[in-house]
Amino acid sequence: MTLMNRVRVTYAGGVVVGPAVSTYYFSQAHTGFVADLFTFYDAVKDRFPNALSWTIPNTGDVIDADTGELAGVWTDGSATGGSGLATNQCPAGVGLRVVWNTLGTTNGRRVRGSTFYVPLDATMYGTDGTLSASISQWQTAASALVTNSSNGMLIWTRPRANAAGGVNSVISATVPDKVTTLRSRRT
């Protein structure tokens, strides 16, 4: 049984339509991950619109990575949060993606995770349809999150009908210079 802590950062504010959440997974051996996430969000808060706020909880679910079942509750540090600082207009429905890289493979493919960050300050977008030089700020913050978590940040491969789930440690982060569109999986 491989246990991991699930952290759900929730978003609110006038620029958020419906429920909004970013989910992260951390090893039970790693403590201080709430503070690590706060440091990450604090480093990029000037790229979020000031109408957006987020909450990082100090408690959440422990998940059995092999089965996907709840296995308990974790507590770490103090609940924290913040809000964006940008006062520019923010294009709706587009933003950037951070790719969390691992060394793991499943079914002949590299295991990677992604987190989408939407909406962002209008200055994040270049005139050529790509992201502006500000992505270096995101790259630095994401790399610092990986370093600060000391291999405690995980990507979860969900269990399937004939295969158990698994976890892989995040070893690096990449911020592609490509505008990302966030679409709901719900129909």
2 class by beta-carbon count within 10 Å (0-12 exposed, 13-18 middle, 19+ buried): middle
Half-sphere exposure of 161 (CA within 13 A, CB side): 0
Instruction: Note the pLDDT tens digit of each residue in 165-177.
Output: 889 999 999 999 9
What value does the mean pLDDT of the chain take?
91
Torsion of CA 110, 115, 116, 121, to 10 degrees: -120
Q: Which residues of 133-146 are buried (b: 16+ CB within 10 A; e: fewer)?
A: ebbebbeebbbebb
Strand partners, 106: 109
Give how far Cα 44 sits from Cα of 33, 39, 41, 64, 154, Å.
17, 9, 5, 31, 21
Q: Does residue 186 have a pLDDT over 60?
A: no
pTM: 0.92
Whole-number pLDDT of residue 187: 47
> Smallest Cα–Cα separation from 67: which of 158, 168, 162?
158
Distance (Å, whole) CA 155 – CA 61: 16
pLDDT band at 10 (very low <50, low <70, confident <90, very high): very high
The larger pLDDT score, comparing residue 145 to residue 187, is at 145
Phi and psi at residue 152, in whole multiples of 5°?
-85, -15
Distance (Å, whole) CA 42 – CA 46: 8
Q: Does residue 15 have a pLDDT over 70?
A: yes
The larger pLDDT score, comparing residue 3 to residue 107, is at 3
Alpha helices in 8-167, H assignment, sequence order: 33-44, 135-148
Instruction: Note the pLDDT tens digit of each residue in 117-138.
Output: 988 988 888 888 789 878 999 9
Neighbours of 122 (CB within 10 A): 13
Instruction: Note the pLDDT tens digit of each residue in 23-43.
Output: 999 999 999 999 999 999 999
pLDDT band at 90 (very low <50, low <70, confident <90, very high): confident
